[in-house]
Structure 1
Amino acid sequence: MKNTTILIPKGEVSLSQIESITQMFTAVNEALSESGAEPAFQLEMVAFKHVNHLSNGITLNVEKHIYDLEQTDLIIIPEMKGDIETILTENKEVLGWLIVQQSKGVEIAALSKGTIMLIGAGLLKNKQCTTHWMIGEELKRKFPETKLQLFKVLTDEDGLYTSAGGFSYLNLLLYLVEKNTSREMSLLMSKIFEVDIDRNSQSPFIIFRGLKHHGDEPVKRAQEYIEENYRDKLSVDQLAEKFLIGRRSLERRFKKATENTVIEYIQRVKMEEARKSLEASQDTVHEIMAEVGYSDPKAFREVFRKMVGISPVEYRAMLNRQMTGLHTAPAEEQ
């Protein structure tokens, strides 16, 4: 049996994630019990404070203090609300405790923005991790030594687990179920909780926002020009000439400032506009392709897949499925 501890850090913590952890692991134990097997997870909760304020103004009383925890195998950190600096400042002592636990061989799973705690503790230095894409730019800036893989739904390295944003944490919970029980049990839980177990990328949900928190003004002007003229066929030579920068210098400075080559940035801007059109209009894929300056369907499809993770047709089909689910849900409930 895996001794599993839900950590409640200081600050506003996600109640829904605490409930999901409890419900899924309890469901696993119940399914195992029905088959005559031993439970897989022994759950408990610890906190730095006995009284904790969760999301939606709810107060949670936790009897066990983190320093009263004698032994555990797995710690799960739910998502916290607030800015990165506040979370890390309020939880300095908790970060030190996590470092000690990891040195004892305890596995630690951080759900969504809970990854901030592992990064702040220095446990993910030079390790792959993921989190909600909306805080990716800031984390890269503050912790450049961390290998953020924002396209991934979850990561697993040296007993440290992280998940992407939104409801992606459910995929990490399913992964932990499979790792500690079986693929069959994980599949059963995916059906019970209606989670797409094989989703492995959050790329279709990432909104591209070019890095602009840098001091290179010519590069920033080039970024703005690309974003305003995405319908045109743009080239590195054209931009270098317009902003009076040598081609090689522009490419070097652009990559350093934005973490993208000039061509990659142009492609990302065009694909973001194409995605918006797929979401908001009834235009055909061919029409949208032309709107963002592409004339070769194969090239457009390949770049879209590279940036978004799926093809334009698959992306629109995904949107249609989501809309169908929204429209049919009330009827199913009646």
Structure 2
Amino acid sequence: MKVIILMADRCSSTSVAASMEFLETANVIHQYLLKSQPVNTKDAAPLFELETASMTGKSITSTGGLILTPQSSVTNITPSGTDLETRLAAHTPRLIIVPGFMFNILNELPKLEPMCNWLKEQHDKGDYIANICTGAFVSAQAGLLEHKRATTHWLFSEQFQRAFPNTKLQTERTVTDDGLVLCSGGSTSSADLLIHLIRKFGSPQLAAECAKKLLVSSGDRSQAPYSSTTFKKQHQDPDILKIQIWMEKRLHTSISMEGLVTEFDLSMRNFIRRFKEATDQTPIQYLQNLRLEKAKHLLESSQEAFEQITYRVGLQDANTFRKLFKQRVGLTPGAYRKQFGWGKAQ
């Protein structure tokens, strides 16, 4: 299968390098598996025929200043097999990998318009498009994710949802596969996507062998344990901002919605409406997220028992809060501390 690994200025060099190394590893192991069969098998063509490309064929400067030189431009990609006419006649699909872009991805999109247009053309011809991390923004800008399932780095999920409301964003997923378009979550979850591609276009056995050799997981993971809730305060409602600060300072106490509206002399309906408009969360969601983020911080930074942490976030029932934590974070409190804890035991 022909694989085109795109690169552009300010893309993640890790996206490009990981794609090359994972798929080349798959080629090597594929040959080994063929030779290990009872019937003597000669060397076959590589499973993945890799080629790097930029829009113009010129070198690009990736995030961090690393200069990458592609093998070709997108208009001069080496045809897979005999010639381009044969490929088009047979409708042989290719795989195009879109790298992630760090930080201000929305600011980069206007500069990536030629890439967006080219991706749309290749998608319409039947090529697969695999997006790493914020590469999903590029495919969404190209119109390839309308009413389709997608994921991206959890840190950019709110930006993505505002920019592309018709995409079915599943931020908790590390990999989505919807028709011809695939996406991965944040950063190193590119490994999850690449193993998925090896399984999809190779075999489950090949994917498992590659995962073992590369020391990565071959199963379905969640981004939930890695994500943090953002609490929007850059809005134009000073009364709601006062309430947000009040909630944070009194998180260790029992907070009720009735008590809040009484404290700030608001009607319940007006309070809920204004709070949602200002923060993009209901008051109950906001309070719940505050408690979860505080609990996560205490699990990371201390050796306090979860029962004590429960009291410190204004709750009394540790069992109920433990269930909520597992449901929302995807790990038990103990497993979360084991994975992310940095506080030393006293």
Amino acid at match of 2:272: E
Q: Of 44, 54, 62, which aligns to 2:51? A: 44
Pair 1:191–1:35, CA change in 2 (3 A): closer
CA distance, structure 2, for counterparts of residue 91 and residue 252 of structure 1 = 38
Specify the alignment match of 2:334 in structure 1: 313
Specify the alignment match of 2:15 in structure 1: 17
Amino acid at match of 1:143: F
Give the C-alpha shift of residue 302 in structure 1. 1.5
Specify the alignment match of 1:191 in structure 2: 212
Pair 1:150–1:16, CA change in 2 (3 A): same
Specify the alignment match of 2:28 in structure 1: 30
CA distance, structure 2, for counterparts of residue 138 and residue 224 of structure 1 = 24
Give the C-alpha shift of residue 141 in structure 1. 2.7
- Deviation track 1:240-259 (CA, whole Å, cap 9, x = no partner) reads 22333322333344344434
CA distance, structure 2, for counterparts of residue 294 and residue 124 of structure 1 = 41
Specify the alignment match of 2:150 in structure 1: 129
Q: Of 251, 260, 267, which aligns to 1:246? A: 267
C-alpha contact 2:29 2:209 (8 A) present in aligned 1: no
- Deviation track 1:108-147 (CA, whole Å, cap 9, x = no partner) reads 1111121121122222123222111222222223333333
Amino acid at match of 1:116: F
C-alpha contact 1:274 1:289 (8 A) present in aligned 2: yes
C-alpha contact 1:177 1:186 (8 A) present in aligned 2: yes
Q: Of 289, 296, 299, which aligns to 2:320? A: 299
Specify the alignment match of 2:6 in structure 1: 7
CA distance, structure 1, for counterparts of residue 141 and residue 234 of structure 2 = 21
Specify the alignment match of 2:38 in structure 1: none
Q: Which runs of 5+ in 2 are unaligned?
A: 35-40, 78-83, 88-92
Amino acid at match of 1:313: G
Pair 1:211–1:148, CA change in 2 (3 A): farther
CA distance, structure 1, for counterparts of residue 147 and residue 271 of structure 2 = 29
Amino acid at match of 1:231: H
CA distance, structure 1, for counterparts of residue 259 and residue 148 of structure 2 = 38
Are residue 58 (structure 1) and residue 35 (structure 2) matched? no
Are residue 179 (structure 1) and residue 200 (structure 2) matched? yes
Q: Of 294, 298, 303, which aligns to 1:282? A: 303
- Deviation track 1:75-116 (CA, whole Å, cap 9, x = no partner) reads 101112341233111111111111111111211111112112
C-alpha contact 1:129 1:162 (8 A) present in aligned 2: yes
SS in 1 for 2:171: coil
Count of residue pairs brought into register by the alignment: 320
C-alpha contact 2:251 2:313 (8 A) present in aligned 1: yes
Pair 1:63–1:209, CA change in 2 (3 A): same
- Structure 1 stretches of 4+ with a deviation exceeding 6 A read none
TM-score normalised per structure 1: 0.88
C-alpha contact 1:278 1:316 (8 A) present in aligned 2: yes
Q: Of 65, 74, 85, which aligns to 2:95? A: 74
C-alpha contact 1:286 1:297 (8 A) present in aligned 2: yes
Structural RMSD (CA): 2.2
SS in 1 for 2:134: helix
CA distance, structure 2, for counterparts of residue 4 and residue 265 of structure 1 = 44
- Deviation track 1:298-324 (CA, whole Å, cap 9, x = no partner) reads 21112211221111112112236x99x
Give the C-alpha shift of residue 67 in structure 1. 2.1
Give the C-alpha shift of residue 213 in structure 1. 4.6
- Please identify, of 252-261 and 112-121, the stretch whose mean Cα deviation from structure 2 is larger: 252-261
CA distance, structure 1, for counterparts of residue 174 and residue 67 of structure 2 = 30
Taking every aligned residue pair, what percent have the same amino acid on both sides? 29
- Deviation track 1:260-314 (CA, whole Å, cap 9, x = no partner) reads 3321211111010000011011111111111111211221112211221111112
C-alpha contact 2:105 2:134 (8 A) present in aligned 1: no
C-alpha contact 1:174 1:197 (8 A) present in aligned 2: yes
Amino acid at match of 1:7: L
C-alpha contact 1:227 1:269 (8 A) present in aligned 2: yes
SS in 2 for 1:240: helix
CA distance, structure 2, for counterparts of residue 138 and residue 217 of structure 1 = 23
Q: Which runs of 5+ in 1 are unaligned?
A: 324-334
Structure index of larger Rg: 2
C-alpha contact 1:12 1:82 (8 A) present in aligned 2: no
Pair 1:256–1:200, CA change in 2 (3 A): farther
Amino acid at match of 2:49: Q
- Please identify, of 108-117 and 235-244, the stretch whose mean Cα deviation from structure 2 is larger: 235-244
